[in-house]
Structure 1
Amino acid sequence: MEYREYNRLKAIIDEHILDFLPEVDHKSITLYEAMKYSLTAGGKRLRPVLVLAACDFCGSDMKEALPFACAVEYIHTYSLIHDDLPAMDDDDLRRGVPTNHKVYGEAMALLAGDGLLNSAFEVMQKDMLLYFDDVDKLKCRLKACYEVARCAGIRGMVAGQVADMEAENKQCSKEMLDYIHINKTAALITAAVLAGAHLGCADEQKRQLLASWGEDMGLAFQIVDDILDVCGDEQEIGKKTGVDLKQNKSTYPSIYGLEESKARVFELLDEADELMAPYYDEAEVFNELTADLRDKIK
């Protein structure tokens, strides 16, 4: 299946992904190169595409959302760099290339992640400075930035990462497993669509719709990731498989089994598609994404 609209937006992100990185003094050039290495290693660009798509869905010019979209990808990439470190998941392959610490060392990888996280907020706040004469748009950007900060932090992604680590080598309840997935993965995906909604000055109905879609999609995305770790192809997914089993992590397949895990994914994707059903072509990107996840585990 061709995902034309998704690929069009992904190409925009790939073209501009380095445009908003703050300038670095040449004496710190290794930091910039390490940040650039992971940013340009490829990837699905799911979260920044969702920022653009949600802004467009809400009737605004997606070009105005581009700085925020790239900022969200900076945050996502920082989280991957840190996840791959020996102290966390200890991976040596990401997006089909050696992980950051394998190329630049652990200390520089830590700092590259820190640099990307801080750059993301510098980019969003720099964009806000352009709208001091347009209070309504400034408020929308403040709300978008807050949504990203909340979902990426200790009430979202970081909380999920902590719970995930603490659940290793333990009997994890189904409730705790959902908590891990909803925060570790779904939170930043939901933040992306809500940031796009705010940047598009959406009404409450569309914000709620996109929040619900993001939660369904985010949880489905992580369950699919769990499934592919068991039976995926390393060449296709760009990272090693069997990592969860090796580290005795709590995952959907380990608790529910593969078939029930797949059934849960299809249930979540059905809910997401139903939310977007009234919007037809306006929801093209969102529908392409749910179709892609279905294809991955058929």
Structure 2
Amino acid sequence: MEVAQLSVSFAGNNVVEQMEFGLGRGEILGIVGESGSGKTVSCRALTGLLPSSATASGRLSFDGKTYDLSDPKALEDLRGGRISMIFQDPMSALDPLMRIRRQFALRGLDEAGAITALAEVGFADPSSILTRYPHQLSGGQCQRIMIACAMISQPRLLIADEPTTALDVTIQAGILALLRERARQTGMSILFITHDLGVVSEFCDRVLVMQRGKVEEIGRTADVLSAPRAAYTQSMIAAIPTEANRGSACRRLRTSRQDGPLPHYPPRRALSASTPLFCRCAIYRSII
């Protein structure tokens, strides 16, 4: 896969600018950066899953065919089949009105296949899981179900948006081992979005660092983490708590560009103790 000149804007304000990278067969590329840097938005643009308020441009070359990223309909033959995605919020990705059995059936998997898929992602009693609704499960259980659903079509590319955030350490290790084994066996490539540099160091072949909608650095994981070239990458690594700086004040993450809110972010409005709670919530939603 090759991505060229990918840009995404909301109401004329750019949130991703001229992003370019490639991905080889069976390769795992980690995408890291602070919240709001454009990681999820850029990957959603590759599948045509941006909201109607967003505008994308650029080109995607996938298996020798070129797609125009400004036309979401052109990506329909890729989405869900050759490109699959594990969404960041599993509770909103599963239909709340359907039992888990039905969620798998709509993806063409019978009950026996669904039980096998759930067992692979760590469920001890998958038969009982199939009878439940999403609201009867924890966030971690829903996340594992989303991972199982994403693997059904045996995609050529798997976009995993923080797939292990809601999982405990033991389950997380098992899921990462499963994804790496699938990549090795089938040649499936993985775009892995995460904030966990520890996971990146163990799981990803290469890493791409984003800040404010732009690629700051890309390279082999070991090279980037051991000898980062970009000032932002150096600052991000230095901000990680370690035994050496234990008990000292947390370091502030220094950016390589001028600090302050992005141009497309609305200014924060002042809150006071007298502001009604529902107004505070409305103001917070307008900020994010």
Name the TM-score, length of structure 2 as normaliser.
0.27
Name the TM-score, length of structure 1 as normaliser.
0.27
Greater Rg, structure 1 or structure 2?
Answer: 2
Relative to its length, the structure with more helix (as a share) is: 1
